[in-house]
Amino acid sequence: MVKQHANISRMLKVIKESCCAILEGAEIDQQEFAEILDFIRRYADGHHHRREELVLFPEMVDHLEEVASIIIKHGMLVEHDLIRAHVRDLDEALKLYAQEPKTEYKLQVLTEAMAYANRLQQHVEKENNVVYPLADRGLSDDIKAKIDQTVKDMEQEEGPEFVKGYMELLDRLEKKYKIA
């Protein structure tokens, strides 16, 4: 899941560069934002957060001390919901801007895109530096093997082309925005 976080962080850099380009005078590219929203919804949320919410987090709540339950239920899951709210608001702002390209709607697009990117980057860092190490230290090898197998099964259901398409999107957008 750390590798998925790295891919998500790559998209967060793309979002930041896209927003900077808009501030510097570029038009809002509705097609590009549609692709970004698709990545957010299907890869970051559907592919990655789904694994956490259905596989990792329940095992942590069931098998670790109460502090893990508090971190998951009152931290990570709440943050997932806040992140989803930014995505909904970004989508709405993009629709409003497409209908009527007012400065107010452009500001809302930039605000929600950057709020999403900033909140998710902080969330990724918490999971990488606190949640995942807690799971690695506290869960038994049997539980970790069960988690790994369940995640592999989920990936097989999606098929190899699922991730490949999103990596190609990331490569293309990173090239466009000259992100190393």
CA distances from 130 to 104, 110, 111, 123 (A): 38, 30, 28, 10
pLDDT for the residue 15: 98
Q: What is the pLDDT of residues 86-140, one digit of tens each?
A: 999 999 999 999 999 999 999 999 999 999 999 999 999 999 999 999 999 999 9
Could you give the CA distance from residue 180 to residue 165 in angstroms, rounded to a whole number? 20
Contact call for residues 163 and 46 (beta carbons, < 8 A): no
Residue 56 reports pLDDT greater than 90: yes
Give ∠ CA 51-35-55 in degrees, rounded to 5.
0
36-57: buried (b, 16+ CB within 10 Å) or exposed (e) per residue? beebbebbbbebbbebbeebbb
pLDDT classification of 65: cutoffs 50, 70, 90: confident
pLDDT band of residue 6 (cuts 50, 70, 90) is very high
- Structure letter (DSSP) for residue 46: I
Q: In which residue are the tokens 């190490």 written?
A: 133
